């Protein structure tokens, strides 16, 4: 395929396969493609290292290989057990599996979804809930217009997942999406998720990303749109534990109404190259956002988190806490921006980034930022990058604790407050165990574990 840059090959692919792509997609998604195509042509290329907001991550290079896309929707086998053995066993959730970019509900999910809660494909929603798609799908924030990877998702996605919680419904049981790469050839999955929590409703969603073939190149181009109406509440957890040959470009956009609350925890335990964009708009008085992130990087892993929290209304609160532990030749980046608009009085917004470099070769880039256009606010940000406290390490060794164990204990303590942002008890404990395993130097993937865990039945 002749192309001058990575973006050209995907535009050419869409133009050559437009009929096949549109034929297998819901109409609400097809309506978004012309604007996305126009935006991509105007952009000319995907973000490159050194572009504004991309000081350390070359997204263009991530997309450059000639990945295959499952345009004809050929079903692929799913080995759910291989990805669930070591992740969150014994956590009671209603689960759906996304193989590549194809959503497959479990039998338990179909049987046990409570009244007022829908978790289905966008195609099913087009048939059964068209007004929801018409109102919300693609109604991204202004930041999405300049997010080229998100626009490429809109151009290529043929389906996706809808989570809809009706007004006043409290979904007590957590919901879970397990994203799995298992194809035997290099593959790109344009994954799309739309979350709508109506007024006074609440839900908890856990999204896990896994790759089952360490010898195959994978790329996830993911977009998650979240809309919380007045008084709604969502706890959103994302856990990535993939392979060094997996690349991930993920964009999350959240829009909050009056007194709505969102809590986000994004954890990258293992992977290749990861770029996460998170944009949150606090649109009405009393909205609250809590965003936490944690990275354990080793080998040549690269993880980049970018956040944009915009306060558009008075009396809104936001907190951000991101921590990295980087070992070997791993690299990381964090760039966060808090914007406080005119008229957003009595805002409280705080941002913290703390990083530990466990080797002399690991590198970290951090850039917290504030833009305040209003008086009567409380805002702050801070960032530190360093190594383990030598005095604390010496003290522990003087008490007979071996150096390796002392280092692990200090790193676990360093990550504790990020883990504590998880209010789901079983996930909190499981994540603590996974972090402990990583900090012990265990590089095994989930499929290497011999634990015996129940496997849910997938609806074909």
DSSP string of 221-241, one letter each residue:
EEEEEEEE-TT-EEEEEEEEE
Distance (Å, rounded) from C-alpha 22 to C-alpha 31? 10
Q: Three-state DSSP class for 155?
A: helix
Q: How many CB atoms lie within 10 A of CB 412?
A: 16
CA distance 398 to 393: 9
Of 30, 26, 28, the residue nearest 155 (C-alpha): 30
Res. 197: pLDDT tops 70: yes
Q: Mean pLDDT of all residues in the chain?
A: 91
Query: In this structure, are strands 117-121 and 246-256 parallel, antiparallel, or unpaired?
Result: unpaired
pLDDT at 75 over 90: no
Q: Tens digit of pLDDT for each residue in 129-141?
A: 999 999 999 987 6
Determine the Cα–Cα distance for residues 242 and 212; give it in Å rounded to an integer.
Answer: 8
According to the model, what pLDDT value does residue 155 have? 97
Q: pTM here?
A: 0.94
The answer on pLDDT for 2 being more than 50 is: no
pLDDT range class, residue 55, cuts 50, 70, 90: confident
Angle between helices 425-439 and 403-419 (to 10 degrees): 150
All structural domains of the chain with their residue ranges: 6-448
Distance CA 12, CA 393 (A): 56
CB count within 10 Å of CB 3 equals 14
**Rounded CA separation 19/22 (Å):** 5
Pick from 74, 124, 71, 135: nearest CA to 96: 124
Neighbours of 441 (CB within 10 A): 10
Return the pLDDT at 3.
44
Segment (H or E) for 135: helix 130-136
The candidate with the shortest Cα–Cα distance to 251, out of 225, 233, 273, is 225
Helix (H, G, I), strand (E, B) or coil at 188: strand
Tokens 């390796």 sit at which residue? 404
Q: What is the pLDDT of residues 400-415, one digit of tens each?
A: 888 888 989 999 999 9
SS3 355: strand
Nearest to 182 by CA among 273, 269, 82: 82
Comparison of pLDDT for 52 and 277, the residue scoring more: 277
**Nearest CA among 442, 236, 420 for reference residue 434:** 442
| pLDDT tens figures, 208-253 | 999 999 999 999 999 999 999 999 999 999 999 999 999 999 999 9
In 3D space, the residue among 197, 224, 185 whose CA is nearest the CA of residue 100 turns out to be: 185
């Amino acid at each position: 395929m002749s192309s001058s840059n990575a973006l050209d090959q995907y535009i050419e692919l869409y133009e050559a396969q437009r009929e096949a792509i549109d034929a297998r997609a819901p109409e609400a998604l097809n309506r978004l493609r012309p604007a996305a195509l126009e935006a991509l042509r105007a952009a000319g290329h995907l973000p490159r290292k050194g572009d504004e907001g991309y000081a350390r991550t070359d997204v263009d290079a991530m997309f450059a290989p000639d990945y295959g896309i499952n345009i004809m929707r050929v079903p692929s086998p799913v080995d759910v057990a291989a990805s669930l053995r070591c992740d969150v066993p014994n956590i009671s959730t209603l689960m759906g599996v996304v193989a590549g970019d194809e959503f497959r509900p479990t039998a338990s999910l179909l049987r046990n979804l409570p009244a007022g809660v829908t978790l289905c494909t966008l195609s099913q929603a087009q048939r059964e809930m068209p007004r929801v798609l018409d109102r919300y799908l693609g109604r991204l924030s202004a930041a999405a217009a300049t997010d080229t990877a998100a626009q490429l998702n809109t151009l290529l996605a043929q389906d996706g997942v809808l989570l809809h919680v009706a007004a006043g419904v409290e979904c007590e049981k957590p919901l879970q999406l397990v994203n799995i790469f298992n194809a035997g050839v290099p593959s790109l999955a344009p994954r799309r998720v739309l979350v709508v929590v109506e007024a006074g409703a609440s839900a908890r969603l856990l999204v896990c990303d896994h790759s089952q073939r360490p010898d195959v190149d994978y790329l996830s181009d993911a977009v998650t749109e979240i809309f919380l109406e007045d008084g709604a509440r969502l706890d959103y957890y994302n856990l990535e534990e993939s392979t060094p040959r997996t690349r991930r470009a993920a964009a999350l956009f959240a829009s909050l109404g009056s007194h709505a609350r969102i809590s986000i925890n994004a954890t990258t335990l293992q992977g290749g190259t990861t770029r996460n964009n998170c944009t949150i708009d606090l649109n009405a008085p009393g909205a609250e956002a809590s965003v936490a992130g944690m990275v354990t990087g080793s080998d040549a892993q690269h993880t980049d988190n970018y956040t944009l929290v915009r306060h558009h209304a008075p009396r809104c609160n936001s907190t951000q806490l991101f921590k990295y532990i980087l070992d070997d030749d791993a690299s990381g980046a964090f760039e966060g921006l808090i914007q406080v608009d005119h008229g957003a009085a009595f805002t409280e917004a705080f941002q913290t980034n703390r990083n530990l470099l466990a080797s002399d070769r690991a590198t970290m880039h951090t850039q917290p930022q504030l833009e305040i256009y209003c008086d009567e606010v409380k805002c702050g940000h801070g960032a530190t990058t360093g190594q383990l406290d030598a005095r604390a390490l010496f003290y522990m060794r003087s008490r007979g604790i071996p150096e390796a164990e002392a280092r692990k204990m200090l790193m676990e303590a360093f990550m504790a407050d990020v883990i504590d942002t998880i209010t789901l008890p079983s996930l909190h404990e499981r994540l603590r165990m996974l972090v402990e395993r990583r900090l012990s130097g265990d590089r095994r993937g989930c499929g290497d574990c011999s634990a015996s865990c129940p496997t849910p039945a997938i609806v074909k």
